[in-house]
Structure 1
Amino acid sequence: MQYFAEDFDPQEYDSLTDLSGNENVTLMCHNETKKLIVRKIISGINKELYKQLVHVRHKNLVQVMGLEETTSNCYTYEEYINGETLAEILAKGPIQEEKAVHWIRQLCEAVRLLHEQSPSIIHRDIKPDNIMLSSDGVIKLIDFDASKEFTPNKQRDTQLVGTPNYAAPEQYGFASSDPRTDVYAMGILFHELITGYKPNEINFSYKGRYGKIIQKCIELDPKKRYQSVQELERQLGVHEVTGLIEHIPGFRTGTWWKKEIALGAYIIIAVFMTASVCSEWNLHGNIVKSLAVLGCWVILFVPPYILITNFLRLREKLPLLRSKFIIVKVFGAVLYLLLWLLLFSSTTSIERRL
Structure 2
Amino acid sequence: MEKINNETAFFYKEIKPLTDKTNGPILVRKMDTKEFFVKKCYPLYLEEHLAALRNIKQAHLPKIQELVVQDGKLWLYEEFIQGKTLTEVIQSSGILETEQILTIAMSVLEALGALHKKGLVHRDVKPGNIMMTNEGTVKLIDFDAVRAVDGEKESDTVQLGTMGFASPEQFGFAESDERSDLYSLGIVMNICSVKEYPKKRLTEDRVLRGIIRKATKLEPGERYQTALEMHLALRQQKSKQIAAIKQAKAHAANLEKRPIRTYADTRPITTIWDTNKYVRQFVILGSRLIEVVVSFFRKYVPGFRTETLWKRAAALVWYSIFFVGITANIVDQPTESLKIREFVDYLLIFGLPVVLFTNFLDYQRKLPLLSSENKIYRSIGYGLLFLFWLLITKGGLELNSFIYRRFN
**Shorter-chain-normalised TM-score: which range?**
0.5 to 0.7
Which residue type is aligned with residue 179 of structure 2?
A: R
Q: Which has the higher helix share?
A: 2
Which residue type is aligned with residue 70 of structure 2?
A: T
Structure 1 residues 50 and 182, CA gap change in structure 2 (3 angstroms):
same
CA drift at 1:245: 3.2
CA drift at 1:220: 0.5
Do the aligned residues in 2 keep the contact of 1:14 with 1:29 (CA within 8 Å)? yes
Structure 1 residues 169 and 22, CA gap change in structure 2 (3 angstroms):
closer
Taking only the aligned residue pairs, the percentage that are identical comes to 29
CA drift at 1:206: 2.8
Partner residue in 1 for 2:376: none
Which residues of structure 2 form unaligned runs of 5+?
Answer: 260-408
Correspondence 1:95 to 2:96:
yes
The correspondence of residues 296-335 of structure 1 with structure 2, limited to 5 A, is: none
Partner residue in 2 for 1:104: 105
Which residues of structure 1 form unaligned runs of 5+?
Answer: 253-258, 270-354
Partner residue in 1 for 2:196: 197
Correspondence 1:56 to 2:46:
no
Correspondence 1:155 to 2:154:
yes
Do the aligned residues in 2 keep the contact of 1:122 with 1:179 (CA within 8 Å)? yes
Q: Which runs of 4+ in 1 moved over 6 A?
A: none
Among 230, 233, 236, the residue aligned to 1:235: 233
Do the aligned residues in 2 keep the contact of 1:50 with 1:64 (CA within 8 Å)? no
**Structure with greater Cα Rg:** 2
* Superposed CA offset, 1:196-227 (max 9, x none): 2221343x543422210110000001111011
Q: State the aligned residue count.
A: 254
Secondary structure of the 1:125 match is coil
CA drift at 1:73: 2.3
Structure 1 residues 196 and 247, CA gap change in structure 2 (3 angstroms):
same
Do the aligned residues in 1 keep the contact of 2:194 with 2:203 (CA within 8 Å)? no
Among 222, 225, 228, the residue aligned to 2:220: 222
User: Structure 1 CA distance, aligned partners of 2:3 and 2:95?
Assistant: 41
User: Structure 2 CA distance, aligned partners of 1:19 and 1:205?
Assistant: 34
Do the aligned residues in 2 keep the contact of 1:3 with 1:51 (CA within 8 Å)? no
The correspondence of residues 249-260 of structure 1 with structure 2, limited to 5 A, is: 250=248
TM-score w.r.t. the length of structure 1 is: 0.66
Partner residue in 2 for 1:174: 173
User: Structure 1 CA distance, aligned partners of 2:74 and 2:111?
Assistant: 25
* Superposed CA offset, 1:274-316 (max 9, x none): xxxxxxxxxxxxxxxxxxxxxxxxxxxxxxxxxxxxxxxxxxx
RMSD: 2.3
CA drift at 1:11: 4.3
Structure 1 residues 205 and 88, CA gap change in structure 2 (3 angstroms):
closer
Which residue type is aligned with residue 35 of structure 1?
A: E
Secondary structure of the 2:189 match is helix
CA drift at 1:264: 5.2
User: Structure 2 CA distance, aligned partners of 1:10 and 1:213?
Assistant: 47
Which residue type is aligned with residue 134 of structure 2?
A: S
TM-score w.r.t. the length of structure 2 is: 0.58
The correspondence of residues 1-354 of structure 1 with structure 2, limited to 5 A, is: 2-3=2-3, 11-24=10-23, 25-92=25-92, 93-117=94-118, 120-202=119-201, 205-248=203-246, 250=248
Which residue type is aligned with residue 211 of structure 1?
A: R
Secondary structure of the 1:84 match is strand
Do the aligned residues in 2 keep the contact of 1:40 with 1:77 (CA within 8 Å)? yes
User: Structure 1 CA distance, aligned partners of 2:86 and 2:3?
Assistant: 31
Do the aligned residues in 1 keep the contact of 2:108 with 2:138 (CA within 8 Å)? yes
